[in-house]
Structure 1
Amino acid sequence: MALPLGLGKPNHIVNALVHRAMDDPSISLQIFTALTLEVPRPSSDIEKRFMGPVLDRLFEGYPALTYATELHKGTLPPNIQVNEFFMQAGRWLGSPRQQQNYISANYTHALRYVLETKVNVVGQLVAPSPSRQQFSLSCNPDITLDLLDARRAGKADFMFVGETNEELPYMAGGAEVGADEFQLLLDNKELQFPLFAPPREPVSLADHAIGLHVASLIPDGGTLQIGIGSIGDAVGQALVLRHKENDAFQKLMAALDARGNDRRPFREGLYGASEMLVECFIDLIEAGVLKREVEGVLVHGGFFLGSRTLYSRLRNMTPEERARISMVPVAFVNDLHGEEEKKRAARKDARFVNTAMMATLLGAVVSDGLEDGRVVSGVGGQYNFVAQAFALEDARSIITVRATRNKDGKTMSNIVFSYGHTTIPRHLRDIVVTEYGVADLRGKTDGEVIAEMLSIADSRFQDELLEQAKKTGKIASNYEIPEKRRHNTPERLLGALADAREAGHLPLFPFGSDFTEVEVSLMPALSRLRHATRSDLAKMLLRGGPETDEARRGLERMALAKPEGLKERAYRRIILAALSS
């Protein structure tokens, strides 16, 4: 059985088939899919106190996928196999079974692998038209449209089964299919369920700095692709700021000593060609940034997944407004093959913006896995867009990487000398952006690339990285990092951006939030706790903090206004300390 990536899974149908196979070991059920969506699972008690009410609010009524639940419990029988080519980030790191069943594939190659398995059932969540004569593949035409084409051409033979969901936005045009395409359709008002809607992530100052640097690399009249996550929202916010409050944007460019020269408001505007219709594309349309039409379309996307706000905004658009957002097969946006001449003409000055976990001094990128072979997520379409950036005459690939990460209370560099796994090889190195600047790597020598990468690394790690490069002879023994690049620190970044944050130009949630005002006010403190060492926590416990009105509201929200027992009193003191830091 083939199921769409992400949102478009027909949960009730899938669960019924899984239960049937669990009850009858003679049935062999293989599921080929990607991005199995699961409600987040808070790990610590404090995290549960904060996220518990949020998760109840956002996911109440969402039917969990039985195969995922049973996999986590270790009780999914061997006659059921789940193969994914893209995983929810980090969710299956501890599962040997799913690590072994992972299929490494570019998004554009997944269709081929589905056909090679001779799939006999394809399932899809669909949006019904009032007449029930037409249905929209809505969030996931990405592979399904090509599968249906293959069936018509005699290259596949499968049952197409659909499940209606009236919350799905009805995306018309190429994403529509007739009722006669289905061999089975579950259309029952009693089985309607709320769509999976993850909350938007908070955007840190480091993310905003990355977004600002990227925004100065996007030429007016160009083409834009953005990946999922808070950095994508930061890029969107920076583009809106550039267009609507250009003086503030220009000041931030000076404060960051930004390298990019594309800084003026958008006159012609941008066109979007993105594997994922990320939520901020709607905001970019409304802000007048995305306004360059290609055959009447502002954005071509292969799939979407987002907050409840995204779904309601799409549903509430007029048919004419929705028609300017065209959902298409992923092969259309991720590849140049098929109508190549038209695609090349449309995708002028393309900038493909994607996020990585790490990058090496030689420009290789690590986005999907660890050097021990375990998969964190998957390649998805990242390689497709990097390759496309080199295939188009005036395109660039922009890989964004946070300069550091925190692990067990220790700060570690995400710019490393080398790593035992890569997603994008160094021969496809192009542009890498951290919060500290832009490294332009295309066509440069290894020595030049290392110098570029050192200039955007956190200064706490620059000396060690430089020493490693000199030791291997990959950079001149007398090379010194320029003094102006020796101050890449969180403190300097805070100094450069604090006024803009205070002025509201760099909000924690640029495009709205699913969290309450009190929950948002708690986030910085909870972030400090998450990154604290045991020593830090001990100091917070001893120190405590003042009970301001804001602190009392936070304690009430965390069910710690009237603590019971030693543990809750300790939690209370630690949170008060974190709130006052």
Structure 2
Amino acid sequence: MVALAPAVAPAAVLSHLTPGADVIVPLANGEPTAVLDAIEAGAGSLEGVRVHQMHALHDRPYLHGAHGDRLRHVSYFLSRVTRPAYWEGTVDLVPNHFSEVPLLLQRSTKCSVVVAACSPPDRHGYFSLGTNADYVARLIGRVPFFLEATPHMPRTRGANTIHHSQVAGWCESDRPLIEVPRAQPNDIDRAIAARVAERIPDGATIQIGIGSIAAAVLDALSGHRDLGIHTELLHDGMVDLVEAGVVTGVEKEVRRNRVVTTFCLGTRRLYDWLDDNAVVELLGVDFVNDPRVIARMRRFASVNATTEVDLLGQCASETVAGRYWSSSGGQADFARGAMYAEEGQAFIVTPSTTRDGTSRIVATLSPGSVVTTLKNTVDHVVTEHGVAELRGRSLADRARALIAVADPSARDQLTVAGRGLGLFR
């Protein structure tokens, strides 16, 4: 057994928070809850500290301005917790592609300290960041780490292990991980999924987002063979494909025979499956989401959702009705990578209408909406009514293809609008 420095109280982290410090926190279950509790409890002694994080899962008073400029949150992807705080003006939002977040943090912040949840140290003195590698993996050995070890965190493999000599301090807690149940697809989701799955060949490497359409796509792939997984997010539906032998990774060009991801979020079943699982590699997002890495994989298939598509093919995937809802994430990373991959395909999926019957395919994006994936990058747009193949087609042909997969009730109006925009006669 390696002799480790003893665990300390979570409040020991405060000694690392000098005026103007930038605290880096992994996303989702990578957040060390006891450590952040201690930081907030000591906020009265802080000056201008910023907490940088994507997709926070725990609501806290400081997110809503409880400590003013002493402690403020900077988000790189809004969640159900940070979204209302951003709308209130008490959280800042930095636009980004997920692959570039490590570089953004290194160039635009002091990277004063990383605080992160981890598994307990092993007999060799290594901590594992468990469900996460994300943007903090790049900072290991370059930035002080203050860790919170919990027995509920799975020990995973990859670029997310830290030797005790690289740790500025560590504490212990018994916090459970947050679980996100698998979304349940409806008939529309399944219709969209069937159209995607039939275009993904055996031996392809896949990236699939989260949500009900993603769950339906994974179900629809159950009859495929020798798929590979190279994805930013690993969730429960992917476990099913691995356990069924659908995913083997034998035809992957990058990290063959391995399931590659940069973070994991799901149920306890997923977390237990991850524990000491040699087939899964947690690697930094600057590798996993790098379009140049993705492009090296033949037959790469990317599947991501959007909220609105205009007749040019521009996809607004981070705003709803012109109001910020999330952020860009890795959608453009994977769409660009798939575009350059040999036989690569990128699918943007969406129901043809919102719950209230409003068309998601529109003549022009709603005021305030922002483009997440450029028209020049968008490959396929898939609704329950069909697949619009856009790459390499004229503006007129793109618009006609999109109208053809819109809800039938919206097609005449879209046709009139398309003529008015001069897209076709």
Shorter-chain TM-score bucket reads 0.7 to 0.9
Give how far 1:174 is off. Answer: 3.1
- Of the three residues 382, 390, 394, the one matched with 1:433 is 382
Equivalent-residue separation in structure 2 for 1:90 and 1:288 (angstroms): 37
Equivalence for 1:363: 313
1:4 equivalent to 2:23? Answer: no
For 2:151 and 2:236, how far apart are their aligned partners in 1? 20
How far has the Cα of 1:99 moved from its partner?
Answer: 7.4
CA contact 1:91–1:376 (8 Å) conserved in 2: no
Q: For the Cα contact (< 8 Å) 1:14–1:65, is it kept in 2?
A: no
Q: 1:324 aligns with which of 276, 279, 288?
A: 279
Contact residue 350 and residue 396 of structure 1 kept, 8 A: yes
**Aligned residue type for 1:146:** R
Decide which of 145, 150, 161 is 2:146's aligned counterpart: 161
* Alignment RMSD: 2.0
Which residue of 18, 25, 41 corresponds with 1:19? 41
Q: Is the 8 A contact 2:127 2:162 kept in 1?
A: yes
The one-letter code of the counterpart of 2:32 is P
Shift of 1:66: 4.6
Partner of 1:307: 267
| C-alpha displacement of 1:417 | 0.8
Aligned to 2:362: 416
Aligned mates of 1:105, 1:432 — CA distance in 2: 23
Equivalent residue number for residue 235 of structure 2: 278
CA–CA separation in structure 2 for the residues paired with 1:164 and 1:464: 57
CA 403–93 in structure 1, closer or farther in 2 if over 3 Å, else same: farther
Select 1:445's aligned residue among 386, 391, 394: 394
Residue range with higher mean Cα deviation, 219-228 or 305-314: 305-314
> In the comparison of the two structures, how many residue pairs are matched?
396
Distance 1:105 1:299 in 2: 25
Structure with greater Cα Rg? 1
- How far apart are 1:271 and its partner, in Å? 0.9
* 2:155 partner SS: coil
User: Which of 279, 282, 289 is matched with 1:334 structurally?
Assistant: 289
CA distance in 2, matches of 1:314, 1:178: 20
Q: Spell out the pairing of 1:508-527 with structure 2 (5 A cutoff).
A: none
- Select the residue among 98, 102, 117 that pairs with 2:93: 102
Match of residue 7 from structure 2: none
Give, as a single letter, the amino acid of the residue that structure 2 aligns with 1:286: E
> What does residue range 8-407 of structure 1 map to in structure 2 within 5 Å?
8-21=30-43, 23-24=44-45, 27-38=47-58, 65-68=60-63, 71=64, 74-88=65-79, 92-93=83-84, 95-98=86-89, 101-115=92-106, 116-131=108-123, 133-149=125-141, 151=142, 158-187=143-172, 191-240=173-222, 243=223, 265-266=224-225, 269-293=226-250, 294=252, 295=255, 297-315=257-275, 319=276, 322-337=277-292, 344-345=295-296, 347-370=297-320, 372=322, 374-406=323-355
For the residue of structure 2 that corresponds to 1:411, the secondary structure is: coil
Report deviation, 1:314: 2.4
Unaligned 5+ segments in structure 2 are: 1-22
Q: Which residue identity does 1:10 align to in structure 2?
A: P
TM-score normalised by length of structure 1: 0.65
Q: Deviations over 1:336-391 (max 9, x none)?
A: 45xx5xx655x11001111111111221101002575x421010111111111222
Larger strand fraction of residues: 2
2:328 and 2:36 mapped to 1: Cα distance? 25
Task: Report deviation, 1:308.
Answer: 2.1
Q: Deviations over 1:504-549 (max 9, x none)?
A: xxxxxxxxxxxxxxxxxxxxxxxxxxxxxxxxxxxxxxxxxxxxxx
SS in 2 for 1:30: strand
Contact 2:183 2:211 in 1 (8 A): yes
Contact 1:173 1:323 in 2 (8 A): no
SS at match of 1:214: helix
* Counterparts of 1:173 and 1:424, CA distance in 2: 30
Higher helix share: 1
**Against the structure 1 CA distance between its residues 135 and 387, is the aligned structure 2 distance closer, same or farther, given a 3 Å change threshold?**
same
- TM-score scaled by structure 2? 0.88
SS state at 2:338 partner: helix
Distance 1:454 1:142, change over 3 A: same
Percentage identity across paired residues of the two chains: 28
Q: How far, CA to CA, are the matches of 1:400 and 1:170 in structure 2?
A: 34
Is 1:125–1:164's contact at 8 Å kept on the other side of the alignment? yes
Q: Would you say the 8 A contact 2:183–2:212 is kept in 1?
A: yes
Residues 194 and 430 (structure 1), Cα distance of their counterparts in 2 relative to 1, 3 Å cut: same
The separation in 1 between residues aligned to 2:50 and 2:420, in whole angstroms, is: 50
Alpha-carbon distance change, 148 to 129 in structure 1, aligned in 2, over 3 angstroms: closer
Deviation at 1:222, TM superposition (A): 1.2
